[in-house]
Amino acid sequence: MKKYELILNIVLPSILCAFVIYITNISLEYSVLSFGFIVGLINWNLHKSKPILGVLLSISASYVTFIIAFFSLYVAALIFDFIEGGDSGKILAIIVSRTTIAPLLLFLSYSFIFKIRKTRLTIFVIILSIIVLISIEYLYHYFDFLDYKILNFYAIWQIVMALAIQLIITQNVKLNEENKK
């Protein structure tokens, strides 16, 4: 039974993020709120601080990451426009900002909220999630899925990131349980 609880704890935030975005069709600003709320609430007892403060910090971290990543898009656009020039520099800036800078900022900000150890699995999950996001971004632009609600990049981004965060947090919970034995 504990095995199923563990699996449910890992995949539940991804499922809830997808459910909220697809069913409610909320805008990007509110989906950032729902992401932080879902991750904070699912991990109620795993925060470094008190649970209610942890949920509020999770929401805040989600928004701060979103805002910084949004401004990094502008900076990256200036840099890549200078290097590449034209539209290819802007596309490259979008890809770098959405698939690399934003996830790294989110992982960094959540490391202040949750007890996260830096293990090989943690690094592997971070690298794999960035590779998955880059691949999805490439497919998204290559096949031009802009009109399809089911393939909304931000929804997929939240699903991948919620899964990655849960894998990292759950790994740390399991390591803490093993150390107590």
| 35-85 confidence digits (pLDDT tens) | 999 999 999 988 888 999 999 999 999 999 999 988 988 888 888 777 766
User: Which tokens belong to 33?
Assistant: 């709120």
Q: What's residue 100's pLDDT?
A: 93
Task: Give the H/E segment covering residue 176.
Answer: helix 153-180
Q: What's residue 25's pLDDT?
A: 79
DSSP 147: T
Q: What's residue 92's pLDDT?
A: 83
Give CA–CA dist 92/166, Å, rounded.
29
Nearest alpha carbon to residue 12 among 46, 44, 52, 39: 39
Q: What's residue 179's pLDDT?
A: 66
Which residues have a Cβ under 8 Å from the Cβ of 88 and sit 6 or more positions away?
Answer: 80
Mean predicted confidence (pLDDT) in 135-143: 78
pLDDT beyond 70 at 136: yes
DSSP 98: I
| 1-16 confidence digits (pLDDT tens) | 688 888 888 999 999 9
Nearest alpha carbon to residue 33 among 66, 4, 9: 66
Q: What's residue 75's pLDDT?
A: 86
DSSP 49: S
pLDDT beyond 90 at 24: no
At residue 170, φ and ψ (nearest 5 deg) are -65, -40
